[in-house]
Amino acid sequence: MIERIKDYVKQYHMLDMGDSVVMGISGGADSVAMLLAFCAMKEEYKLSLYAVHVNHGIRNEAGEDADYVKKLCEACKVPCYLFEGKVEQMAAARKKTVEEMGREYRYQCFHKIMEQVGAKVLATAHHRGDQAETVLFHLIRGADLSGMAGIRPVSEQNGAFGAYRLIRPLLCCEKRELLEWLTAQGVSWQEDATNQDNAFARNRLRNEILPALESVHFGAAGHIADMAGIMWEYEQYFQRLALKYMERHVQACGDYSWKTERRALLEQEKVLAKAVIYEMLGNAGQGKKEFTREHVEAIYQLLGNQSGKKIMLPKEVEALNSYENLIIRKCFRGTDFKNCKENSADFQEIALSLEELKKKGKEERVSLPFGGIVRLSCQPVSGLTGEQYENMLKNVGNSKNNYTKFFDCDTIKDTLCIRAAQSGDYFIFNEAGNKKKLSRYLLDMHIPVDERQRVLVLACGNEVLYVLGGRRCESFKIRKDTKNILKVTYEGE
């Protein structure tokens, strides 16, 4: 078993020499087997190992799991970090399912320890049965090729602390094989009673659907897991074709906004056109997870409709026909005030003193009268380490995040204000210092006339620093000689 896992790790280049690895250890058979496998590879790869156990606060006996994991890690000489949360309460407060909230909370805990210990690798104990469940789950939800590819052995992820590698070294193993191996080793594990609760969708797949499929054909789950690999190969092929098409025919037209000629796209093979649409959706939505084949098909059908037609999609993304072009973009949040009947022209401007922000040394929150919040703060560069500042210069100084922008506070000489867009407003749109009228920018962004009346901006005189929820100007950027940084975050309604 260990040799097979080692070969699988090498096949997908999951580990580099000297890696620090954070492992999610629940105490179940899968994660216990993974812990032992990593301990067996520790010397070969010179690994630093860290275990994280998360108690979701759902089961009374969950404390026993934590005690078991702690003792097992002590025996294996692996540092262990324990977390406990009330996932059901969190899920209710955030209007999420317990499953969704549980996963989100687990990864928050994983990321916290990864940042603390400087790890760039996270390992989870998914096996072939989990792969089959995932493929079926995606299939019944209407996933495209990407969803049918299931769980990948290795994937590059991003956390608040930076990029990291997510690995699944047990995807080559069947659950029964792991149980047999642990039993042969005389190693115990903890059974999670909630795994038998069929109120959870994945449990129904695991406990009812997959066994039924196995009764029809032995090895069904394994074949479904194998199909995930085949789908991944197809998905990668079509993605390469789509990206090649996008290099020539798809243009960025703003932050998280992309356009392409409708007729040219319709002339392509339908499967390629859909692959291009899917990539555009992923770019606009900063990920493809919530987009299904129904969404892609709806946009494909939209291509043949008249100009001005549009459809709304998950993650606040919209697709619209604008003359000859299809545009897929993140909604223009600066104008996305639900049920708002007021024009921003009726909005009294709010003056902001940078000196006061510096003196306060804390965040200022400005509530907008018809929805949304703007948060502002000034941070002295002297409060950052050299490494932190270098990272800021690289990663956020010229941020393209639609909702958080950074400026050199000391180069802004006049009073700032949050106000409605006005005649004469402009912004600097390139490094050469060239100006563009705000009205032209809104026209180029294809913002409907009625929505333009509700645009709010952060401005200094007639110079616009930031169209709330849209683009920032190219001036007032953070430089190496910057002394104070102004951070502005917009949160729509």
Query: In this predicted model, what pLDDT tens digit does every residue of 324-358 receive, in sequence order?
Result: 999 998 874 444 333 333 455 556 678 888 888 88
**Predicted confidence (pLDDT) at residue 362 exceeds the cutoff of 80:** no
State the CB neighbour count (10 A cutoff) for residue 171: 24
Show which of 276, 310, 331 is a domain's final residue. 331
**232 within some domain:** no
What is residue 451's predicted lDDT score, i.e. its pLDDT? 64
The model's confidence at residue 448, banded by pLDDT at 50, 70 and 90, is low
**Predicted confidence (pLDDT) at residue 128 exceeds the cutoff of 90:** yes
User: Distance (Å, rounded) from C-alpha 168 to C-alpha 180?
Assistant: 20
**382 within some domain:** yes
Tell me the β-bridge partners of 398: none
What is residue 334's predicted lDDT score, i.e. its pLDDT? 43
Tell me the β-bridge partners of 312: 318
User: Distance (Å, rounded) from C-alpha 322 to C-alpha 329?
Assistant: 12
290/393 same-domain check: no
Q: How many structural domains comprise the chain? A: 3
176/261 same-domain check: no
Q: pLDDT tens, 47-81? A: 999 999 999 888 777 788 999 999 999 999 999 99
Tell me the β-bridge partners of 435: 428
433/401 same-domain check: yes
The model's confidence at residue 401, banded by pLDDT at 50, 70 and 90, is very low
326/356 same-domain check: no
189/289 same-domain check: no
**244 within some domain:** no
Tell me the β-bridge partners of 162: 159
35/102 same-domain check: yes
**288 within some domain:** yes
Name the most confidently modeled range: 37-51, 132-146, 147-161, 424-438. Answer: 37-51
370/410 same-domain check: yes
**245 within some domain:** no
User: Containing domain of residue 82, as a range?
Assistant: 2-224
**71 within some domain:** yes
**213 within some domain:** yes
473/395 same-domain check: yes
**Between 77 and 447, whose confidence is greater?**
77
Percentage of residues of the chain with pLDDT beyond 70: 90
Looking at every residue in the chain, the average pLDDT score rounds to: 86
171/150 same-domain check: yes
- Residue environment code for 71-100, b if the CB has 16+ CB neighbours within 10 A, otherwise e: ebbeeeebebbbbebebeebbeeeeeebee
Q: Which amino acid is at 256?
A: Y
**Predicted confidence (pLDDT) at residue 110 exceeds the cutoff of 80:** yes
Q: Which of 29, 98, 25, 31 is nearest to 66 (CA)?
A: 25
296/435 same-domain check: no
Q: pLDDT tens, 176-232? A: 999 999 999 999 999 877 777 777 778 899 889 999 999 999 999 999 999 999 999
**241 within some domain:** no
215/321 same-domain check: no
359/293 same-domain check: no
Q: Which of 297, 299, 30 is nearest to 173 (CA)?
A: 30
The model's confidence at residue 404, banded by pLDDT at 50, 70 and 90, is confident
